[in-house]
Amino acid sequence: MKIENLKFKIEKKGFTLIELLVVMAIVSILTAVVLVNLGKNDDQDVRTEKDRLVTFLREMQNKALAVDKNDVSLGADEKLCGFGVSGGVGDADFLDTYYIKTTTAATSGLDQDCAGLASADSPRTLYSSRFYLNKDVKLDLAGNIFFLVPGADVYYAGSRSSGDFPVTINLKKSGVNVPVKIDLSGRIYSN
């Protein structure tokens, strides 16, 4: 306050109480939104990894459908039988990828039955690189999943028995479990 001409004159400087409360409310709301979005969300982590895993499995299945020979080492007397993935029981954080090709022992590799090799689940050759899960998500896959060329027929642990299907791969993190399933027809889905 100033005194001019014997009158009090109020200078307007600073904020009113209402303006201060509005700014504090806006800052509080923004802080709450940021904390919720940056906080640990195990359910979202597992579901994100589920989507990545389903996409990866479909990619391996599509390689079998297309008989994709990129990055596959085949001899003159060998043929590609298909692509597979193998994981771990319990708390694995990756899947190995592999392919099976005919061998040239005894009969010509071109004359060998790929379904028999898929049932035996051998001989395997590592393919490409591992598929790693992110964000501390773990998976549980007791056997191997194999897609036979050219129709991408699904084998689980060397079997096409309907009793073994649907194959379930459980993704888990901190009590959150999300299953990914593959049925005998090759459909890859999650509940």
Q: What is the mean pLDDT of each run of 10 residues along the chain (191 residues)?
A: 66 83 97 83 90 95 89 83 85 89 64 77 79 91 90 90 90 93 94 78
What is the model's pLDDT at position 104?
64
β-sheet bridge partners, residue 150: none
182 and 101 fall within a common domain:
yes
Is there a contact between 139 and 133 (Cβ–Cβ < 8 Å)?
yes
Q: Are residues 21 and 61 in the same domain?
A: no
- Number of structural domains found in the chain: 2
Beta strands 94-101 and 131-132 are antiparallel
Residue 134 φ/ψ region, left for φ over 0, alpha for ψ in the -120 to 50 degree band, beta for the rest: beta
What one-character DSSP code corresponds to residue 113? -
141: left (phi over 0), alpha (psi -120 to 50) or beta: beta
> Same domain for 155 and 104?
yes
Q: Are residues 85 and 17 both part of a single domain?
A: no
Let me know whether 15 and 50 are in one domain: no
Residue 50 sits in the same domain as residue 120: yes
Q: State pTM to two decimals.
A: 0.76
What residues make up the domain containing 21?
2-37
- Amino acid 180: pLDDT: 96
Same domain, 111 and 22: no
CATH number at residue 175: 3.55.40.10
Residues 183 and 106 in one domain: yes
What is the reported pLDDT for 185?
Answer: 92
CA distance 148 to 6: 100
**31 shares a domain with 52:** no
Dist. CA 137–CA 93, nearest whole Å? 7
Residues 130 and 144 in one domain: yes
> Are residues 128 and 100 part of one domain?
yes
26 and 53 housed in the same domain = no
